[in-house]
Amino acid sequence: VSTDSTGGWSELVRGVLAGEPRPLARLITRVENRAPGWQDALRALYPHTGKARILGITGAPGVGKSSLTNQLALRLVARGYRIGIIAVDPSSPFSGGALLGDRLRMSDVPTTPETFIRSMATRGSLGGLCQGARDVARVLDAAGYGLILIETVGVGQDEIEIVKAADVVVVVCVPGQGDGVQALKAGIMEIADLYVVNKADRDGAEQVVADIGAMLALAGENRAFHEMVYRTNSLSGDGVDALIDSLLGRVASVELSPARADERARDEILLLIEREVARRVRARLSDDARLAAAVKAVVTRQSDPYSAAESLLADLSGAEAGPDE
């Protein structure tokens, strides 16, 4: 379409800022694919960001995160919000079923100027899962989506990093998962703002509520229990409005502390640097005869991976520093 000197980016950026869905979808895809000029696009959008609030929705596979997100989105749109949804899939190597399932369950959410849905099945994506979700959220923010819901399966470091970047984190549990609540203690618990016991239509929901209560008490949580634990049925929508009232209350009260804002910016800058350094190192070494020789030496036990890495790194930094140093 466009052949301007920015490779069409400036037109897309204009469209995004004007709130047009098609340029938005195209720009996000190109940013995710790291098409040439992606940084320029994000640079141009950055001054227009910082208004959106991000809700992280996490929990074990199948607890109803997508169904709940769907219910939240429909109701929030009815309340006048523009909602961006990012579904981060674990991209199971066995099938694309999870992705399709998410699309199906979220199909109730109309793609209108009020809602925008993007699935990311992106293990091994170019920018990394966490940065990828961050970039997409940032584009949606610039496009005027005031609330961004990010669904992630609460397993794995990447997913935890993603929800850490959210303003409010909802952890979804269900009855009948036995040690489900137990499993949550690792990592996710520290960042949870609210707990949802979904599938509250099923037996055992009250037991899960009680388990969470016990866990919170152990953790010395001093917020009122009833303000932290909600019961929902994501099929009928029961309980979802009460959850929304609480979420909106929290969102309104979240003002990022300066220290937290600094920490986030710092994390992001470091992450971007790490990615780029890793990319450059791989590019430099991939065809390097020294790497090939080191591989052989390690495989035949003439050397070891530690010495090989150390000596290649020394070569690289020597080359970086230049002949004068």
List residues binding ligand GTP (CB under 6 A): 61-67, 98, 101-102, 105, 153, 198-199, 201-202, 233-235
Task: Provide, rounded to whole angstroms, the least separation between the CB of residue 98 and Mg ion.
Answer: 7
Q: Which stretch binds Mg ion (CB under 5 A): 60-68, 114-122, 176-184, 186-194?
A: 60-68
- 234 contact, one of ligand GTP, Mg ion, none, CB 5-8 Å limit per kind: ligand GTP
DSSP 48: G
Residue nearest to Mg ion (CB): 66
Task: Provide, rounded to whole angstroms, the least separation between the CB of residue 227 and ligand GTP.
Answer: 21
Check residue 95 and give left, alpha or beta (phi > 0: left; psi -120 to 50: alpha). Answer: beta
* Contact by Cβ (8 Å): 230, 195: yes
Rank residues 45 and 109 by Cβ distance to ligand GTP and give the closer one.
109
Task: Provide, rounded to whole angstroms, the least separation between the CB of residue 170 and ligand GTP.
Answer: 12
Rank residues 95 and 317 by Cβ distance to ligand GTP and give the closer one.
95
Distance CA 293, CA 312 (A): 11
Rank residues 27 and 163 by Cβ distance to Mg ion and give the closer one.
163
Look up residue 274 and give its two tokens: 């790490």
Residues 212, 216, 222, 223: is their CA dihedral positive or negative? negative
- 63 contact, one of Mg ion, ligand GTP, none, CB 5-8 Å limit per kind: ligand GTP
Q: Per CB under 5 A, does 102 bind Mg ion?
A: yes
Task: Provide, rounded to whole angstroms, the least separation between the CB of residue 171 and ligand GTP.
Answer: 12
Rank residues 23 and 119 by Cβ distance to ligand GTP and give the closer one.
119
Task: Provide, rounded to whole angstroms, the least separation between the CB of residue 91 and Mg ion.
Answer: 12
Distance CA 304, CA 267 (A): 33
Dihedral, CA atoms, 28, 99, 205, 248, nearest 10 degrees? 10
Dihedral, CA atoms, 125, 59, 169, 195, nearest 10 degrees? 180
Rank residues 31 and 200 by Cβ distance to ligand GTP and give the closer one.
200
Task: Provide, rounded to whole angstroms, the least separation between the CB of residue 61 and Mg ion.
Answer: 8
Task: Provide, rounded to whole angstroms, the least separation between the CB of residue 300 and ligand GTP.
Answer: 44
* Contact by Cβ (8 Å): 239, 170: no
Q: Per CB under 5 A, does 193 bind Mg ion?
A: no
Among 55, 63, 66, 143, which residue sits at the site for Mg ion (rule: CB under 5 A)? 66
Q: What is the DSSP string of 170-234?
A: EEEE-TT-TTHHHHHTTTTGGG-SEEEE--TTSTTHHHHHHHHHHHHHHTT--S-GGGTEEE--T
In the chain, DSSP assigns E strands to: 53-59, 83-88, 115-120, 147-153, 168-173, 194-197, 229-231
Rank residues 115 and 198 by Cβ distance to ligand GTP and give the closer one.
198
Q: Per CB under 5 A, does 159 bind Mg ion?
A: no
- 235 contact, one of Mg ion, ligand GTP, none, CB 5-8 Å limit per kind: ligand GTP
Residues that bind Mg ion (CB under 5 A): 65-66, 102
